[in-house]
Structure 1
Amino acid sequence: MNMDNRRYNVNARSLPVSNALHGSSTVISELEPLHRRSDVVLNEQGLPRHSGCTRLKKLVHKSKIRFGTWNVGTLNCKSVEVVGVMIQRKINILCLQETKWRGEEAKDIQGFKLWYTGKVSARNGVGIIIDKEWKRNVVEVSRIGDRIIFLKMIIGRETVNIVSAYAPQVGIEASLKELFWEDLEGLIRHIPQNEKIFIGGDFNGHVGREAGQYARVHGGFGFGELNNEGQTLVDFSLAYDFKIANTCFKKRDEHLITYKSGASRSQIDFLLVRNTDRRLCKNCKVIPGDAVTTQHRVLVLDVCIMSKIQKRRQVVTPRIRWWQLKGEKQDIFKRNLLDKGIWESQGSANIIWEDMAKKIWEVAKVVLGESKGLVREIRSLGGGIIVYRTKSSIRRTVLKPYICVTMRKIGRGTVWLRKKLRELWVKLVLKLLKNFIRTLRRRKESKIFIRLPRVGKENQEI
């Protein structure tokens, strides 16, 4: 089959209330070759083997998160405005510096949650604020003085560590600078290598415009000239294999400058990630124009964390084969119970009953055996499962694929339409199974159960 014919035979699944199946995605396009179109599937790789079902298997889950760092100057009378900026700029996690709040506490601000630390209400202080969606994922909080705060989160199957840091300014005593970097290094050393780290902070240093000999940590798109404080940050990144994220994307100067006061412009706020996680970073830039602070600007980093989806385990419930309690096995069962001394228990009625039930259960397992159990989970692509019990075993059979196609169509439209479609689907299934049930009854099967997905009752006995 040539390419022109294949373009019209593409089985692509469109979103509800869309015209993707009748639009330009399935016809010849003169603007772009078909194999470069992301909305067209030609070879159907990754699709289940069920005929007529073209739903892709989703093996990984993408969590799109926007991190940010911002020196707010002070949080006094600004906390609500900061939350407003996060909502407007769609920032999920924001590292704050110079909060100037005293104490080591957590506070709810319009549904967002802020963890902060500070010793003096007039200077320093750092914090991390997280939105409504991700605040429940925080499992650990650690504070080191009034310049470093650390959060540990679980995102999917990944462990993510967020650090907000505020380095001493130029002119501060060298001993305080050394203490800050020692505390930060000690924190990083205790984080396992398989966990992700995002460090956002005001490091009060310039890393330079070009990477030079520091291409391992510098992306080559910085601003300003390298100074002593910036050299310390570069050395720290080299020692612990970090990448300075806001030097990895080519931007205009307006989207690189994090501090602007009159004629003074500089890049002193940075976001650091591990080199192994550099591929997760999709974009990093400064967002100018927010009036909450007059000098510092908010720096954001878009991250896409990929986590593998765990396969659901089949839950089985083994059952004792009580239907085999007859004939010779019945006599063996009685003798084994008498040998166990089932009537010799003493104590209260509850203790006697528990002891008797335990002994009966143990003897039944040995004499009658256990079945493998029924699969309780219904697969999302499996349609329905018919479960019927014969005289000797319990059997299952899966409905035909066209039932799955019918079920896939349910879910589009209004609530009333979905309800009606479900009712019609149940009637259709019962009608299609009429001959099958009659066949089983002719064989004198004891009981028949039909398990239908997304219906009021999971099991319906007929």
Structure 2
Amino acid sequence: MRNYIKEMAPSSRRPFNGAGVRRISGRKTGDEVRHPSRSVSRRGEKWIAEARLATLNVCGAMNDKMDEVCDMMYDRGIDVLCVNETKRKGKDVTTHGMYTAYWSGVDEIERACQGVGIILSERMGQCVKEYECVSPRLLWIRMKVGLKKLFVLGVYAPDMSKPTYIREQFWEMVRMVLMKCKGNENIIMLGDFNGRVGVRRLGYERVLGTFGDESINENGESLLTVCMEKNLFVTNTCFRHKRIHMYTWERGDDRSMIDFIIVDERLRGAVVDTRVYRGSNVGTDHYLVLCRINGLFRRWRHRSSVSTTALQRIRTERLQDEGERNKFKCRLKENISGLDELCMKELDLENVWQNVKKGLVDAATEVCGVSKRKNEKKNNTLWWDDEIRMEVEAKKRAWLDLLATKAESKRSS
């Protein structure tokens, strides 16, 4: 409210009426009556400073779903998306239009399984300082966003069907990774933890909220222990929502809350909301979990990407042919003929070098030719076109209709 009053000119300030509404005169926007809670419009500084972090288990086939995931991030305005069970091999960094993806998977010789990735928006990708692909289940990125230093950890925990020693090794590895976090960095963990944390409050008041699923398992207990050690809290349990906006996984009549966004205690006051968005479906039985953090990009300076012309490379490999090499020698002699006289007259070595350089480049370009470098940021998916996009939109509408039908049937029963 204070920011809104500061932005208004002194002559335009008016007292509240009885309904708690400030009337703004002298504006012809059609929105003359605004509630005090709308202190800044969505296009204002407050909305720009807000960051959106999300997690989604894609259940494999990440290469085929990448374009659809990027469209989902654009529609939701997501800055950081942790994707689990990507089933991608190797450790890599790829670029997809305005998004940068960091991947941590199994070795190339192994069967495709597990896998975790973190996809960053353009403005968040500029803030990356360091990263490490720890294992097919852990990936961390160190970044500085505005005045905040973040340690983002993407997690894909083993499910309860795995042996106990494998799960214990995983949580020990999580502790080892979190030890790399510096004291002035805020930890953010997000991903599929395959753990049910419940709503048990005794001893976990700083970690858990009062809203969530009542069930709990061993993974959930291990997660809560790590949160207690590192002063973290589970944002999913801190906001009241409908149950359909609380459960992150559903298969038939079975559903649970196993995908979490966990934030450092120092950021508790900045977390605006965390909830499930069921409409974003990419062929998985998990739902998108999205967390909004206010003021993260405050005092952040945007570095707009500079569009450059296509780079050209001289095909010097053609000089291996003797005929092409002889042509180049003859053309070079013609270009730099009279160079001795120029050196005698010209005392500026810079001008002499520029003439020699121009002669070399012109001769090589004329004889060898040039080739344009490919734009690495261009999306090279050949099958993704307007027809596929329309089919995907139809699939999304059908998915929303299915959710509405399920809700209606439950309501009627």
Q: Is residue 224–residue 266 contact of structure 1 (8 Å, CA) maintained in 2?
A: no
Contact 1:62 1:306 survives alignment (8 Å) = no
2:55 to 58, 66, 69: 69
Two-structure CA RMSD over aligned residues (Å): 3.1
SS at match of 2:63: coil
Aligned residue number for residue 324 of structure 1:
none
| CA shift for structure 1 position 224 | 3.5
Task: Return the alpha-carbon distance in structure 1 between the equivalents of residues 136 and 56 of structure 2.
Answer: 16
Could you say what secondary structure the match of 2:71 adopts? helix
Residue aligning to 1:92: 79
Give the structure 2 partner of residue 31 of structure 1: 19
Deviation of the 1:11 alpha carbon: 8.8
Q: Distance in 1 between matches of 2:169 and 2:194?
A: 15
Match of 2:229 in 1: 239
User: How do 1:244-283 residues align onto structure 2 when only pairs under 5 Å count?
Assistant: 244-283=234-273
Mapped partners of 1:287, 1:307: distance in 2: 23
| Residues 86, 117 of structure 2: 8 Å contact kept | yes
With over 3 angstroms needed to count, the CA separation of the structure-2 counterparts of 1:37 and 1:187, relative to structure 1, is same
CA distance in structure 2 between the partners assigned to 1:125 and 1:282 by the alignment: 30
The change in CA–CA distance for 1:12 and 1:183 in structure 2 (over 3 A counts) is closer
Which of 174, 178, 190 aligns to 1:188? It is 178
Shift of 1:168: 0.6
The 1-side partners of 2:90 and 2:218 are apart by 32
Distance 1:215 1:88, change over 3 A: same
One of 120, 134, 139 as aligned partner of 2:124: 134
Deviation, structure 1 residue 232:
1.2
* Residue of structure 2 equivalent to 1:410: none
Paired residue for 1:114? 101
Residue 8 of structure 2: which of 13, 16, 19 is its match?
A: 13
- The 10-residue stretch of structure 1 (97-106 or 219-228) with the greater mean CA deviation from structure 2: 219-228
SS in structure 2 at match of 1:149 = strand
Contact 1:220 1:247 in 2 (8 A): yes
Give the ranges of 4+ consecutive aligned residues of structure 1 lying more than 4 Å apart after TM superposition: 36-40, 306-310
Tell me the secondary structure at the aligned position of residue 295 of structure 2: strand
Q: 1:78 aligns with which of 43, 65, 79?
A: 65
Question: What is the DSSP-based 3-state SS (H/G/I as helix, E as strand, rest coil) of the residue aligned with 2:102?
Answer: strand
From the superposition, tell whether residues 11 and 96 of structure 1 become closer, same or farther in structure 2 (CA, over 3 Å): closer
In structure 2, the partner of 1:285 is 275
Report the Cα distance in structure 1 between the residues aligned to 2:293 and 2:47, rounded to whole angstroms.
13
Equivalent position amino acid for 1:97 in 2: N
What are the within-5 Å matches in structure 2 for residues 46-445 of structure 1? Answer: 63-74=49-60, 75-119=62-106, 120-305=110-295
Instruction: Render the CA deviation track for 1:49-79: whole Å, top value 9, x for unaligned.
Output: xxxxxxxxxxx99731000111111113101
Contact 1:111/1:131, CA 8 A, preserved across alignment:
yes
Structure 1 residue 144: Cα displacement? 0.9
Distance (whole Å) between structure 2 residues aligned to residue 295 and residue 39 of structure 1: 36
CA drift at 1:171: 1.6
Q: What displacement does 1:151 show?
A: 0.7
Which residue identity does 1:13 align to in structure 2?
A: M
Q: Which has the higher helix share?
A: 2
Following superposition, the deviation at residue 213 of structure 1 comes to 3.3
Gaps of 5+ in 2: 23-34, 40-45, 301-413
Report the Cα distance in structure 1 between the residues aligned to 2:16 and 2:228, rounded to whole angstroms.
51
Displacement after TM superposition at 1:212 (Å): 3.7
* 1:122 positional shift: 2.5
3-state SS, counterpart of residue 227 of structure 2: helix
Residue 235 and residue 254 in structure 1: after superposition, are their counterparts in 2 closer, same or farther (change >3 A)? same
Give the whole-Å Cα distance in 2 for the aligned partners of 1:12 and 1:111: 32
Shift of residue 146 of structure 1? 0.6
For residues 214 and 254 of structure 1, the distance between their equivalents in structure 2, rounded to whole angstroms, comes to 25
Q: Secondary structure at the match of 1:200?
A: strand
In structure 1, the partner of 2:364 is: none
Q: Distance in 2 between matches of 1:283 and 1:121?
A: 38
- C-alpha spacing 1:12/1:173, structure 2 compared with 1 (3 Å): closer
Q: Give per-residue Cα distances to partners, 1:112-144, cap 9 Å, x unaligned.
A: 111001114521000000112221211111011
Give the total of aligned pairs: 278
Which amino acid counterpart does residue 91 of structure 1 have in structure 2? I
Are the aligned partners of 1:269 and 1:299 in contact in 2 as well (CA < 8 Å)?
A: yes
> How far apart are 1:308 and its partner, in Å?
7.7
Between the aligned residues of both structures, percent identity stands at: 27
- CA distance in 2 between counterparts of 1:306 and 1:109 reads 24
